[in-house]
Structure 1
Amino acid sequence: MEILVISISEWVGYLAMATVLISFLMKSVIKLRIVNSIGCLFFVIYGFMLQPFSKPIIITNSIIFAINIYYLFFKKN
């Protein structure tokens, strides 16, 4: 019988994945951007926890986070 052990970095990755997926269930675009930003931050942390660092995960989610922040705070309709 094999015991399933999940590392801390995997838990962070699963949390990031769940947060981003949940963000797409939001009806409000503002709530979507807030929850998605949190998920992106978790993905950036996850990218740094991987050895070696996962540059594609870090770069992509950093850019998405910046876009969300731009639309939340600087782009007013």
Structure 2
Amino acid sequence: MTPEITNYFGYAASFFVVLSFMLKDITRIRIVNLVGCILFVLYGIYSNYLWPIIIPNAVLCFIQGYHLIKKKA
């Protein structure tokens, strides 16, 4: 993947994370933040495995997913 496209993943991830701070509904916050975290994981992978970006965002993906599933149950 080209570095230019990889940067778009990073910009999109940042956008979704910032957007999640502007929402009030907790379910929407978790969904939007989950999208941002997934994009950050992809950005980290496509940027030659930036582990300090991949690890915390992967953990946050599991946390957000857990709370979304728990809320539906």
Normalized against structure 1, the TM-score is what? 0.85
Instruction: Point out 4+ residue stretches in structure 1 off by more than 3 angstroms.
Output: none
Larger of the two Rg values belongs to structure? 1
* RMSD of Structure 2 on Structure 1 (CA): 1.7
Residue 17 of structure 1 is matched in structure 2 by 14
Gaps of 5+ in 2: none
- Which structure shows the higher helix fraction? 2
Gaps of 5+ in 1: 1-5
Query: Superposition pairs for residues 1-77 of structure 1, below 5 Å?
Result: 7-51=4-48, 53-74=49-70
Q: Any idea what the Cα deviations from partners look like across 1:7-63, whole Å, max 9, x if unmatched?
A: 111111000000110011111011000000000000000000102x10111110000
% same residue: 40
